[in-house]
Structure 1
Amino acid sequence: MVTAKGYCPGPFLQESLFPTTGGFTDGRYCEPIPGIGPNGTAVTCCLPCPLADWRYADDTAKRVEVASWISVAILPLCIFLLVSYAVLPVKWTNRHYLSICFTLGICCMEIAFIIPLGAKPDQCYNAITPHDMYTDLSCAFSGAFLLFGGWLVVMWSFIRTLAFHLQVCWELVLGPKFMWGAFLAGFGIPAIAMTVMLILTGVSFRFGQICHINIKHGDQDYWYPIISVAAAALVLQLATLAYCIHVYLRSLFDNSASTTENSSGLPSYTSSVRTVTARQAYRRVRRVLQLQWRGVALALIIIGNVIFFAVVFINLDKETDPNAANMAKATDWLACLAFGGSKEQCKQYASAMGPNEATLLAVVYLLSLVGIWNFVLYVRPSMFVGWLEICRGFSAPREFVSADAHRNLDNKGFEMLTTGTGKTPEPYNYNMRSPSPSRMMRSASPRQMMRSPSPTNTFNGRRSPMAASMTSERNVQFGHQEARYTRPSMSFSGPRPPTSPGGHDWDPSQTFARGQV
């Protein structure tokens, strides 16, 4: 009997009723059923799109959407770290290019989960065909950000592990060459890998509103390479930790050996030298661990998560690929649906169709929670102190001005200028000849010579500029009309040094100086 679904029974739809192009046609879950067509021919029937709605519970899509809201909460934390690295001085953040680039990869992954919340895409191109990156723009962006962010996180975890290994085990100082090589590998390899993956495999809607890598060639151009890098990072990390344990145990052994004595009752020279070397190595390793334990812990967490994700997705690809072996495993489930069974009634036969719901949700939640580990391990209390200092700097006044200064804004007494008449002072004559010592001796009285100069007196009995300034200040304050600046007759501020053309013109016998013999 021909219906709107064609000749197919139950919830299945006849594939020939739909176009052969448009959407991700390889994502259709179809199987030919013999004897149901006209004249007993076989008809290809397909499960309606999306497939995950038939395999898992009704509320699975809502649970997957929770991961997107988790990313909404975590992305601002990652942005806070990046802004702190860019704005605050290094003394508050201890920033490093390894931490910055790793955080950028986390941001890409979080953005991939947030895109569907704004786009709200339809997962299906038609009733049996899911959308792919060519027919839905949000699918292209969410899949690209997710896969590129995953590559960034794995590559920078490997680079951090390699840097830690070289510093601890080989005592190498990493310089600019390592940094530029890290930039080239950390961004170049993910960019090349993502380009190859999008061209050869692509992304499409498989479960939830986030696009994931397709099955065809997905293992070869994404999962196997990323597992290889993660496994290499794990091996390096374990080797480095084993070396640290070895150094620690050797320092303990040498420390106990240094307390022993040889047959002569004196400490052994050989053991003491070994003890110093072991202790130095242990102190060096401990310093490196104290500086990089956050990065080491985060790298281990990321590597463990990536290996778990890869195993789950590879298993999902193998068990949901519509090949003959998988169709044979799904015969009971498909027959249950074809003979009118509901999704809940046939759920017990679907255990062979990929991972269970709990495993799938665990993968999605762990992917979205990667950013929280990054924030917890990289944030420092000093960052908040630095932001507090910046906020105080913006709110504090630029210059302190007292209340007395506001009341005396027009007071010119400190400038040694004529305030009553408005007459400007005469220009200073810089060509004035500097006085000679003999003139100073003759012009000054003995009393003035014995008297120490005060701020208001000079050697010639005249008032100094400071006295004039103080007098003018008092005149202004007490209402006097004029406060004239008096220029001293002798000044030592000329540009030429004191000279005496005829040698010294004073008698050495009248002073304590010794004359010529």
Structure 2
Amino acid sequence: MAAPGNGNATCPAPFLASSNFPPRGGEIRARFCLPVTRNESCCLPCPMTDWVFSDNFQRLEPTANYVGIASLVCNVLLLLTYLVLPEEKSHRHYLSIGLTVSLIVLSIAFVIPLGTKPDMCFDTLTPDNMYTDTGCAWTGALLLAGAMGAIVWILLRSIWTALRIMFDFRRTDIFQWVSIALGVGIPGLFLAVEMGTIGVSYKLGNICLPSGPEAFVAWYVWLVVFAGLSAIILIATIAFCLWKFAISALAGAGVSTHKSTASANSAALTEPEPGQPPSKRAMKRQKRVEWARIKKVLRLQWRTI
């Protein structure tokens, strides 16, 4: 891209002097500038991505939007299966529904720019924000709500699985209402804080992101924290299952080591006579039962992975 004239000898091309573009609107904090004197800064023209990234970025940028269309279609179909099919066929669960709805909201944020085709810049240096571009406000709000919602619902699912597997937690009705309150309340709280105090603007691509230095602590750090907790709980749950399986396999016991499946496993196993070691067939059957349970747990974790 050809560099525009800078109008000021203190700024080498393609940088422009900020004094030539006084703040009249847009997201001033999102300007990509470097101070050169006490009263002067040199800034890259908007959009910054044209100068920071290679020429392939503009060609590859719409890929994320088209992926958003595919994600939207798949998640809408998944949500329809939850609504239409019986529970035993669709495996409908409030944790799955919450995650699916969050992913739909997130996908819509990537689809909107395909229709609005935003200009992204208020002037030569300044990106648009949610006050100067309606599409920015919508994509930013949907991204905030969808991304945080998906992370929170994944964390809640990891906690639910850990409670059921590791502690045989049975008060599922209480956990359901607590999960719904947190799954809706936490994303709503972050959305209100971000949109009300920090705001969103065009920083990278055609979707608005939280702007300003406060956004890192107020939003990005919390995404990493919640995702990290989900990963830790997931690893602990898998390790617990593998540990139980290893103990059962080494001991050669014919009785399940997990309370919640004791009755099911005892019906599937042939108990040896009192005082007699279990037969090889019983040991193999026990290992198959334990391994089937572990595979079931692992399949439940694909969303967190």
CA contact (8 A) 1:247 1:281 kept: no
Q: Answer yes or no: is the 8 Å Cα contact 2:141–2:191 preserved in 1.
A: yes
Residues 133 and 140 of structure 1 are in contact (CA less than 8 Å); yes or no, is this contact kept in structure 2? yes
Counterparts of 2:92 and 2:148 in 1: how far apart (Å)?
22
1:428-449 alpha-carbon deviations (Å, 9 max, x no partner): xxxxxxxxxxxxxxxxxxxxxx
Aligned residues: 279
**Superposition RMSD in Å:** 2.9
Determine which of 249, 254, 259 is the counterpart of 1:252. Answer: 249
> Retained in 2: the 8 A contact 1:151–1:190?
yes
Identify, as 1 or 2, the structure richer in helix.
Answer: 2
Question: What is the CA–CA distance in structure 2 between the aligned matches of 1:271 and 1:174, rounded to whole Å?
Answer: 37
1:22 maps to amino acid: G
1:58 to 55, 58, 69: 55
CA displacement at 1:62 relative to structure 2 = 2.2
Query: How far apart in 2 are the matches of 1:16 and 1:71?
Result: 39
Counterpart residue number, 1:20: 23
Partner of 1:209: 206
State the alpha-carbon separation in 1 of the partners of residues 212 and 160 from structure 2. Answer: 35
Partner of 2:302: 297
Structure 1 residue 45, shift from structure 2 partner = 2.8
Looking at structure 2, the residues matched to 175 and 33 of structure 1 have their Cα atoms a distance apart, in angstroms, of: 61
- Native 8 Å contact 1:132 1:139 kept in 2: yes
TM-superposition CA deviations, 1:293-316 (whole Å, max 9, x none): 43312212xxxxxxxxxxxxxxxx
Partner of 1:194: 191
Please tell me whether the aligned partners of residues 14 and 45 of structure 1 are also in contact (alpha carbons under 8 angstroms).
yes
Q: Which amino acid aligns with 2:21?
A: F
Cα distance, 1:9 vs. partner? 4.1
Aligned pairs for 1:9-408 (under 5 A) are: 9-33=12-36, 43-255=40-252, 269=275, 283=289, 286-287=292-293, 289-290=295-296, 292-300=297-305
Larger Rg over CA atoms: 1
Query: CA offset at residue 164 of structure 1?
Result: 0.8
- Following superposition, the deviation at residue 22 of structure 1 comes to 0.5
CA-CA distance at 1:30 after TM superposition:
2.5
Ranges in structure 1 where 5+ consecutive residues have no aligned partner: 35-40, 259-266, 301-517
1:63-116: CA deviation from partner (whole Å, max 9, x where unpaired) = 011110121123111111111111222232121111111111111111111010
- C-alpha distance in structure 1 between counterparts of 2:189 and 2:137, whole Å: 17
Point out where structure 2 has 5 or more consecutive residues left out of the alignment. Answer: 256-272
Q: Normalising by structure 2, what TM-score?
A: 0.82
| Aligned amino acid, residue 297 of structure 1 | W
Percent sequence identity is: 32
**Equivalent in the alignment of 2:7:** 5
Partners of 2:23 and 2:213 lie apart in 1 by 18
1:139–1:282 Cα change, 3 Å: same
Residue 24 of structure 1 deviates from its aligned partner by: 0.4
1:219 is paired with a residue whose SS is: helix
CA distance in 1, matches of 2:39, 2:45: 19
Contact 2:49 2:204 in 1 (8 A): yes
Q: Cα offset for 1:206?
A: 1.2
Q: 1:187 to 1:17 in 2, by over 3 A?
A: same
Asked whether the 8 Å contact 2:109–2:143 carries over to 1, the reply is yes
CA distance in 1, matches of 2:166, 2:203: 44
1: CA distance, partners of 2:72 / 2:215: 28
How has the CA–CA distance of structure 1 residues 209 and 151 changed in structure 2, closer, same or farther, with 3 Å as cutoff? same
- C-alpha distance in 2, partners of 1:270/1:115? 69
* Alpha-carbon distance between aligned partners in 2 of 1:295 and 1:232, rounded to the nearest angstrom: 17
**Are the aligned partners of 1:132 and 1:140 in contact in 2 as well (CA < 8 Å)?**
yes
> Alpha-carbon deviations, 1:389-412, whole Å to 9, x = none?
xxxxxxxxxxxxxxxxxxxxxxxx
* TM-score, length basis structure 1: 0.50
User: Which residue matches 2:263?
Assistant: none
Deviation at 1:200, TM superposition (A): 3.2
Q: What residue identity is the alignment partner of 2:27?
A: F
Distance in 2, Cα, partners of 1:176 & 1:280: 32
Instruction: Provide the secondary structure at the position in 1 that maps to 2:252.
Output: helix
Q: Distance in 1 between matches of 2:150 and 2:39?
A: 49
Distance 2:16 2:288 in 1: 69
